[in-house]
Structure 1
């Protein structure tokens, strides 16, 4: 029987608009990759990169602090009420630095040689001295776009370029260049980091959440109305039904919906697993952040999800995987400390959340015997001013310090150049008295930072140049050697 024209047209319009629902979690092409039947299962040379983005601009100057008497004195003289006491720092034995005292959970990773700070990293188009920076107009193509702006600098970090109009992220471009089995898997929302010209990231919810269409999970289908609804959708998206519409757009959406149902059925159990219902090795690693059978803390929940997906690689599939997680709240213009106590306040709380989550994840990877196959790294909008403001906070800056963690990391060492701790010094963009805030010009570019990670990920030099278009501007300094 032929459909009535009005019914057929309504059905066609509905299909053409059906980018919502389950398929909304996937970018174009993502599901095709995830469902490839020819892809190998777990590979012995499996490697994963895990990006942790600290939204708002982390105060790296209070995350990694010089512990030698001379530089700690310089630091304390300017930081004043925000300065962390030298004796309170988490000692990074063998170096002249210490971590924020709220980051004690990372001490074992440093002791095991699995943690390394990388100093003064930020978006650059090319190497840049203070004299060059001062001589260039703000609109110069030799400068990154819109310095000190949250949204623009987040884009530059996520895209690995100096152009805030770049549409694709360096994680997404790397996934394309390396032909990874899956797109970037994000447990931290739909950011630009995982977007490529071919596909978007696969965005997953936290532990215990439903991945897929509400009411259409396997347990839901025991109720007859839900089973009938699922059968109707299957019929609606069936290839024969869609082919009859003779619409490429409708066919594309229908295929995406079919594939989304299949992927959610395959990954749904992994996504939903809570502590006590899955891996004892992962639960043991995350034990310090598990309370009442639940993982506490947003970042810890995200990394728990990543840990489950890494362990279930035979189901997720592929020998290379890039993950994205995030923690927000770092725009600490005020109340960075409370009551003049630098060991309390918003930043101390954030540092503890970050350290506890990273330490739990690293312990879980070691428990799984996969510590050397997983490298975790931080990114953030920018650093913050060396000089505090009048609200017990700090303002937007540029270069920042970051952490890299994992069994393959060449730890017990620091990388990059720590800035000269002087307002108006060689690393400060400021020169005149009114602009002396301590905004460091990066001495390591995002390109070099990313290239070092991707070289460990087995990217070729040609692939690195494709993924990171400004990398060639930094000459032979392509690999910082921290992994």
Structure 2
């Protein structure tokens, strides 16, 4: 549904033009009266923060003094004097732009997963996004999404809008489940096109009546569409109305550049809905720009540049988000999960950048998380020349991260969602 779809154009495009799994509408009852529940939002809220392009893990958390690391990254490696030591006597250091995460790490609120990946990695952005969405390294396309599978087989709540996707099109992780998808709440609208105002009620009743008829013999795809059609207007009203008068504390939030403002916008939307009582359990948004083949760092100042700006926007935004929730006493209800489709090569290229690689890094942030480094740090002594082609092998499967979120955070048997068992991690 486009931001200003009409009933006629929407039905024509979705019912006559094919039923795609990427339909961006929620599953609600159109004619049922919708109000904010009086109870507090559901616990165990997850915000998925996707770093698009392939985040360079070895410019996040790195063995700053390791001879192979410094040889492989003579232009990219941040000087020890400007990096942040993770802990006393640790060989690992953080990018200085991640200082806000270091503060929360020290408080026991950041779980780090260096070396996250999967067997036989794919280096195409499109295939890799499908793979991590469908939790299947053999996936040729995202025929299902892990979050959609959770909503279908694991979600135990009864709230009408269990998830929201803050993107222009449905994220692959939600493939198979109607989810409200928009980049701005005020633009998420569904309008009828009546000749008179009275016709609004007639068209609404007709829309629901037609949906009921179609549902009587619906297959999976048709059922997906009719549920979405029937719910669209009421969902749009609820999403726009919830927290419409809420205001963030602007001094908490980063705004120095466009990346800061992008992250701030979507984390403020999450804060708005959580604080204002929308009982949605899963939120997702993404930040692009992590495909850093060139000019990843400033020449001669590797602690500055493009990647530093991206990491700073991510870290400052997450820090501000939890500070905002804390003002409302809601900080213990949410976890932010930071992920990317893959990592980068061990060594730099000739353009002050790094190329697509296997293992990456993920973070989980929040008071409910057990802080620490929860995966074996990759062994740089095994990295050999040519460094720009050398790969860092994964040390933890991304599906174990999903399984742990589902089982330890959401308290659901992960095999019912993922279809098989994976080793669980001590993240919660």
* TM-score band w.r.t. shorter chain: 0.7 to 0.9
1-structure distance, mates of 2:210, 2:137: 45
1-structure distance, mates of 2:182, 2:10: 24
Instruction: Select which of 63, 74, 77 maps to 2:71.
Output: 77
Call closer, same or farther: CA 1:295–1:287 in 2, change over 3 Å: farther
Aligned: 1:117 with 2:83: no
Instruction: Select which of 178, 186, 199 maps to 2:165.
Output: 186
1:311 maps to what in 2? 275
Call closer, same or farther: CA 1:357–1:91 in 2, change over 3 Å: same
Call closer, same or farther: CA 1:183–1:150 in 2, change over 3 Å: same
Q: CA deviation at 1:37?
A: 6.9
Structure 1 residues 62-94: Cα deviation after superposition (integer angstroms, max 9, x where no partner)? 011235x4x3x4321211010011121234334
SS in 2 for 1:289: coil
2:135 maps to what in 1? 160
Contact 2:154 2:416 in 1 (8 A): no
Contact 1:48 1:374 in 2 (8 A): yes
Q: CA deviation at 1:448?
A: 0.6
1:235 maps to what in 2? 202
TM-score (norm 2): 0.82
Q: CA deviation at 1:438?
A: 2.7
SS in 1 for 2:309: helix
1-structure distance, mates of 2:31, 2:200: 21
Q: Greater CA radius of gyration, 1 or 2?
A: 1
1:480 maps to what in 2? 425
Q: CA deviation at 1:256?
A: 4.6
1-structure distance, mates of 2:41, 2:203: 41
SS in 2 for 1:352: helix
1-structure distance, mates of 2:199, 2:210: 17
Instruction: Select which of 206, 212, 230 maps to 2:189.
Output: 212
Aligned: 1:367 with 2:327: yes
Q: CA deviation at 1:27?
A: 4.8
Instruction: Select which of 423, 437, 453 maps to 2:389.
Output: 437
2-structure distance, mates of 1:80, 1:122: 25
Call closer, same or farther: CA 1:40–1:14 in 2, change over 3 Å: closer
Aligned: 1:467 with 2:426: no
Q: CA deviation at 1:346?
A: 1.2
Call closer, same or farther: CA 1:150–1:308 in 2, change over 3 Å: same
SS in 1 for 2:402: helix
1-structure distance, mates of 2:417, 2:30: 20
Q: CA deviation at 1:99?
A: 1.9
Aligned: 1:60 with 2:57: yes
SS in 1 for 2:149: helix
2:254 maps to what in 1? 289
Contact 1:27 1:200 in 2 (8 A): yes
2-structure distance, mates of 1:162, 1:308: 36
1-structure distance, mates of 2:211, 2:344: 59
Call closer, same or farther: CA 1:251–1:82 in 2, change over 3 Å: closer
2:94 maps to what in 1? 99
TM-score (norm 1): 0.74
RMSD: 3.7
Q: CA deviation at 1:161?
A: 1.6
2-structure distance, mates of 1:87, 1:399: 26
SS in 2 for 1:298: helix
Instruction: Select which of 238, 246, 269 maps to 1:278.
Output: 246
Structure 1 residues 229-255: Cα deviation after superposition (integer angstroms, max 9, x where no partner)? 654343223239956997669999787
Call closer, same or farther: CA 1:397–1:246 in 2, change over 3 Å: closer
Contact 2:51 2:288 in 1 (8 A): yes
SS in 1 for 2:364: strand
Structure 1 residues 227-284: Cα deviation after superposition (integer angstroms, max 9, x where no partner)? 966543432232399569976699997875553221222221337x4xxx414xx426
Q: Which runs of 5+ in 1 are unaligned?
A: 1-11, 125-142, 217-225
SS in 2 for 1:481: coil
2-structure distance, mates of 1:244, 1:455: 35
Contact 1:175 1:322 in 2 (8 A): no
2-structure distance, mates of 1:100, 1:230: 58
1:419 maps to what in 2? 378
2-structure distance, mates of 1:254, 1:466: 26
Structure 1 residues 388-418: Cα deviation after superposition (integer angstroms, max 9, x where no partner)? 111111000111112110001112x211011
Contact 2:344 2:355 in 1 (8 A): yes
Contact 1:295 1:301 in 2 (8 A): no
